[in-house]
Amino acid sequence: MSDDVSPALNIAYLGPEASFSHQAAIEVFSPSTNVLHPIPSFSAIFSAIQSSTHDFAVIPIENSTNGSVVQVLDLLSQCGLDSSAAYPDLEVVAEYYLPVHHCLFVSSTSTNPDIRTIYTHPQVWGQCNKYLSSNFPPNQVERIDVGSTSAAAQLVSRDGNASNAAIASKLAGQRHNLICLAENIEDEPGSNTTRFFVVRNRHQRTTGLEQYLSSRPNQKQKYKSLITFTIPHTKPGALADALAVFNQYHFNLTSIDTRPSRKRNWQYVFFVECEEADNGNTGSIDDEEENLKNLLTDLQKFTESLRHLGRFQDQLLREDGIHSKS
């Protein structure tokens, strides 16, 4: 073995195995050269990155049909270079779009299934509403939440009851030797996509994303930044003043979300993703980073708290609306 072979990276994802998070981690970080670790909760994942026991983590941030993952937003609100932050060293370094396809599974021992109970992750009900309403209405079939789709598959496999079914990925069904009764039961097959963030500790100078990033067919190589801030809510126009700064520096707002700050009632944390606008300029990366620095300096004048949580390549091909995927 040559001396320049990179050591295996330790990658955290929301477990158990065969979850959609596991599938995303496999596609971003090859399991043949890295070690993928299932972690039972989002808070444990954030703690693992903050303590540098893992090099990267792959975490879901939003689904195209069911919206944001609020548990992750709440944890991100505790990140950033701030003495009061629970995870001050965590930063976002990449995003990944995973097409999500749901399947209905029963136990391999079920010769004549009579489904009375379905298990899956809470977000999946909304993603498969049309199919479930037509075939398994809630007044006839009980719906039970579990921690992940892979946990649902594991439960049905272990139980072996012909009246139980699971909604999970094809990977989970294969892993637990289940029988697939229906594929692609999501409301809009081909359109259901989950976006993931790749995060790391900013003090860990780990590499390993280069192959993934270079494989994206995104020739423009636009960059996004994730910024969180709070504003003085009693000041008229405070939010408008803050958002005007993005326009001043030619940043396109691609996403805005809010969550309670949990520091005082009726104060909210704003999550803004912004992208450098294409003005026909051919500025260098250094110029773009300087423009971002100036934006943050001016934005601080209109906010009570401000944190920059990462800068990463935009992996969405906006000109045709199709996510990029190798």
Residue-level pLDDT at 283: 59
pLDDT tens sequence across 264-294:
888 899 999 999 876 545 556 678 889 999 9
Residue-level pLDDT at 276: 80
The pLDDT-based confidence of 24 (bands split at 50, 70, 90) is: very high
**CATH fold of 215-323:** Alpha-Beta Plaits (3.30.70)
pLDDT tens sequence across 126-174:
899 999 999 999 999 999 999 889 999 999 999 989 899 999 999 999 9
Residue 4: exposed, middle, or buried by beta-carbon count in 10 A (0-12, 13-18, 19+)? exposed
Judged against a pLDDT cut of 60, whether residue 4 lies above it is answered with no
Judged against a pLDDT cut of 60, whether residue 321 lies above it is answered with no
Judged against a pLDDT cut of 80, whether residue 326 lies above it is answered with no
More confident residue, 19 or 318: 19
Q: What string of DSSP letters covers 13-36?
A: EESSTTSHHHHHHHHHS-TTTSEE
What Cα–Cα distance (Å) separates residue 54 from each residue in 25, 28, 160? Answer: 13, 15, 36
Residue-level pLDDT at 278: 62
Domain parsing of the chain, residue ranges: 10-100+192-213, 103-182, 215-323
More confident residue, 231 or 112: 231
What Cα–Cα distance (Å) separates residue 310 from each residue in 22, 37, 275? Answer: 23, 23, 12
Judged against a pLDDT cut of 50, whether residue 87 lies above it is answered with yes
pLDDT tens sequence across 171-229:
999 999 999 999 999 998 878 899 999 999 999 867 777 666 655 554 567 899 999 99
Residue-level pLDDT at 209: 73
- Is CATH 1.10.3720.10 the classification given to domain 103-182? no
Phi, psi of 134, deg, nearest 5: -80, -35
Judged against a pLDDT cut of 50, whether residue 304 lies above it is answered with yes
Judged against a pLDDT cut of 60, whether residue 323 lies above it is answered with no
First to last CA, the chain: 28
Give the residue-averaged pLDDT of 85-103. 95
More confident residue, 172 or 110: 172
Residue-level pLDDT at 279: 54
More confident residue, 108 or 317: 108
Q: What string of DSSP letters covers 228-273?
A: EEE--TTSTTHHHHHHHHHHHTTEEEEEEEEEE-SSSTT-EEEEEE
pLDDT tens sequence across 50-81:
999 999 999 999 988 888 999 999 999 999 98
Provide the token pair at 261.
């700050």
Q: Is the peptide bond before 113 cis (omega within 30 degrees of 0)?
A: no
Domain 103-182 in the same topology as domain 10-100+192-213: yes
Give the residue-averaged pLDDT of 29-37. 92
| CATH class of the 10-100+192-213 domain in this structure | alpha beta
Give which of 98, 100, 115 is closest to 179, Cα–Cα.
Answer: 115
Coil vs helix vs strand at 207: coil
Residue-level pLDDT at 220: 62
